[in-house]
Structure 1
Amino acid sequence: MTDQGMSGMGPTALVGDSLTQGGDWQAWMPGETIYNFGVGGDTTDDVVARLWDVINAQPTVVVLLIGTNDLAWRRSVEHIVRNVETILVTLRRELQETRILVQSVLPRGHEFADQIRDINRHLWQFAPTVHAQWLDLWPALALEDGELNPAYSEDRLHLNDEGYRVWLNELVPALERLRQQPPTSRAITLPDLGGAA
């Protein structure tokens, strides 16, 4: 096995907060070379500040999930979206041959549902402009009212083992689809935006 992984691709960088940090991605995706750039407590501002760590690693795939900690800091939807757009524009400019997968902000307590849906709607619309693919994790993890399914979390925020299993079941096929597309292809599927609010 080479460091190119089973897919023949180079390393995959997973970028985000404690949700990403907490995953045992290398064990779960044994054919891949995984760089875990998840940092507990990180906001979108933090990812903007450390983005060159990711760029300097020269990954062939970047998987991004960030934004939920901003909500705890009472950051506005506009602030979060603008920062994620900055992250994506910078990644695309500096890593032109890298495939980018943007994941929807995960559900948490239902009191955040409207804000998260709004963020995700903006990111879904923006992702194709930087030739990034979109993965909507909301349908797999949210209840009708936008609450993170309690089967997948003990604290309405962090995922338990079952929550990570559900996420992985969505992520692995999305990565396979992503790798079949050229780095600059447009999004190929429309998301389910979690139902009309």
Structure 2
Amino acid sequence: MSATVVFMGDGLIAGGRWDEWLPGYEVTNLGISGATSDDVLSHIDLLVEQNSDAVVLGIGTNDLGWRRSDEHVVRNVETILVTIRRRLPETRILIQSVLPREREFAEVIKSVNRHLWQFAPTTHAQYLDLWPALASEDGELNPAYTDDRLHLTNEGYEAWLAELIPGLETLFEIPPSSSAIPVQHA
């Protein structure tokens, strides 16, 4: 039986044909077009019900479109990661960086991604940095991968998959979590 993987996040996740592109896994796509980190938090029970072997999370770009601060996005994603880890201690977690979009968002996206990269290990989540594969030198989503500086073309998804496939392979090589050692009370 192949490993079960649930993708959760925004329209970039929703638009992926993950089940087709990742035939070695049983994939469920819970991406929601237009979703923000607040939306993912409100749907966390749906994710937990899946009780999958792994969760791939991609969220944050729509928050920025609504002018939410980097602190708001980071706080919500941290809460999502902690909730997943607490409620699904044996599930592997892959948090993906917020993808680049229009140049005006580059610095706030870099800030969010830096915080997520630092926080992920505290929840035994793996961090997948997609920025180098998808951003232009000026911090904008590479024009070769988009028609509107936000959504991905097929070429954009191919560049993402080139990073995601090895990321998933690594994810399944590492134990899912390190549960707290129970303390015996005298």
Normalised by the length of structure 2, the TM-score is: 0.94
Aligned to 1:139: 132
Which of 116, 125, 141 pairs up with 2:118?
Answer: 125
Residue identity matched to 1:17: D
Aligned-pair CA distance for 1:31: 1.8
Structure 1 runs, 4 residues or longer, greater than 2 Å off: none
Query: Which piece of structure 1 moves more, 98-107 or 25-34?
Result: 25-34
Letter in 2 for 1:116: I
Question: Counterparts of 1:87 and 1:47 in 2: how far apart (Å)?
Answer: 8
Secondary structure of 1:38's aligned partner: coil
Give the superposition deviation at 1:183: 0.7
Mapped pair 1:88 → 2:81: yes
Report the Cα distance in structure 1 between the residues aligned to 2:22 and 2:37, rounded to whole angstroms: 26
1:50 to 43, 51, 60: 43
What is residue 8 of structure 2 aligned with on the other side? 15
Alpha-carbon separation, structure 2, partners of 1:76 and 1:110: 16
Deviations 1:62-96 (A, max 9, x none): 00010000011111111110000000000000000
Alignment RMSD = 0.7
- Secondary structure (helix, strand or coil) at the match of 2:116 reads helix
CA distance in 2, matches of 1:74, 1:174: 30
**Structure 2 unaligned spans of 5+:** 179-186
1:144-195 C-alpha deviation (Å, 9 max, x unpaired): 110000000000000000000010110000000110000126xxxxxxxxxx
Q: Are 2:92 and 1:99 aligned?
A: yes
CA distance in 2, matches of 1:169, 1:143: 17
Matching residue of 1:193: none
Q: Which amino acid aligns with 1:55?
A: V
* 3-state SS, counterpart of residue 145 of structure 1: coil
In 1, the alpha carbon distance for the partners of 2:89 and 2:36 equals 25
Which residue is 2:29 aligned to?
36
Distance 1:74 1:48 in 2: 18
Figure out how many residues of one structure are paired with residues of the other and give that number: 178
